[in-house]
Amino acid sequence: MKKIGLLAPLALGLVLLSGCDQQQEGEALPAATGETAPPRAEITAPVDAAAAANADASSTHRWVGTVRAKHHVELAPGMTGVISSIAVEEGDTVEAGQRLFRIEGSSVQLAVSQAQSVVASAELQLAEAEREAERTRKLAERGTVGSANLERAQAGVEAAKAGVKQAKAGTALARSRTSDLSVESPISGVVTAKYKNVGEVATMMPPTIVLVIDDISTVEVRVRVPELKLREIDIGSPLGVYFPALDQRLEVPLTRIGDTVDPRSRTIELIIDVANPDLRIKSGMSVEVEIQAPKPSPAPAEQAPEQDAKSPTAMIAAQENRAG
């Protein structure tokens, strides 16, 4: 029993020694720790010279916006009816005042004819009233009828004249509706959409959009930026505008700043007018707007000696000189 008790610790020691040998062969020992451990060597990553050279470029901020037409018009008819003709197609260039489409106006023409017949009837009544008044006047001169009859005849003439004026006003109203049959372009631009065709019904209320005209000779670039950017820009500040679809980059001044900040995103809208004489920039294009971050102003050179003179080391040296 004593031999067994002595052999057990010996066997345990052999197992521990074999485990340490296997750890040395298969794995590295952990790093030393504690107060007496040597300091660990610091490993620094290699410095990328290109990244350091382009450090200033990272200060440029870019946001994605959208192009919109400077003037956008959606045209509906002035009265309900069937479209009888459309003079333009999508992509056509139109001038201000050019007729674009027309509503079939047979009912309007009938209303004009009816109003004209009312005018003719009123004029006949006026002529009859004038003849009756003239006859009554002659009888009154002879003493055959009294003055009351003459006054009634003259009042009939005045009433007939009022009827003629009313009938003519109705005719003018009916004729004015004929101008609502034709729709003209209020601006010069390009037809960007055509929603209806000849033969379809277009209503005045609710308005049926038949054509869309966009003036893209000058376009608006609209982009939302964080509200804190208002510290760096103002109206007239130069901004970089890049159109990826055209691979075209421009530098244009900021035209307008929005009046409200979105409370959810904390952003504000910037509006930039961009001249587009060749009409290459299209409404709805994606655009990238760049704002160059302001460079920090360098500290004045004369401040350095003053700061050194007030440092603790300089003050001690001055005291030693005075003591010596």
- Given a cut of 50, whether residue 49 has pLDDT beyond it is no
Bond from prior residue into 226 cis (ω within 30 degrees of 0):
no
Q: Which helix (H) or strand (E) element contains residue 202?
A: strand 201-202
Write the pLDDT tens digit of every residue in 15-29: 444 554 444 444 555
Domains of the chain, by residue range, sit at 60-68+211-292, 75-103+181-202, 106-179
Burial of residue 240 (number of CB atoms within 10 Å: 0-12, 13-18, 19+): middle
| pLDDT at site 30 | 57
User: What fold is seen in the domain 75-103+181-202?
Assistant: OB fold (Dihydrolipoamide Acetyltransferase, E2P) (2.40.50)
Residue 51 reports pLDDT greater than 60: no
At 83, give phi and psi (nearest 5°).
-70, 120
Burial class (CB in 10 A: 0-12, 13-18, 19+), 282: middle
User: How does the average pLDDT of the chain come out, rounded?
Assistant: 79
CATH 2.40.10 is right for the domain spanning 106-179: no
The 10s digit of each residue's pLDDT in 133-158 is 888 888 877 777 777 887 888 888 88
DSSP for residue 4? H
What's the pLDDT band for 212 if we cut at 50, 70, 90? very high
Residue 77, helix vs strand vs coil: coil
Interval 224-245 mean pLDDT: 93
Predicted TM-score (pTM) of the model is 0.57
Asked whether the domain spanning 106-179 has the same topology as the one spanning 60-68+211-292, the reply is no
As a whole number of angstroms, the distance between CA 209 and CA 194 comes to 8
The correct CATH number of 60-68+211-292 out of 3.40.640.10, 3.40.462.40, 3.40.20.10, 2.40.30.170 is: 2.40.30.170
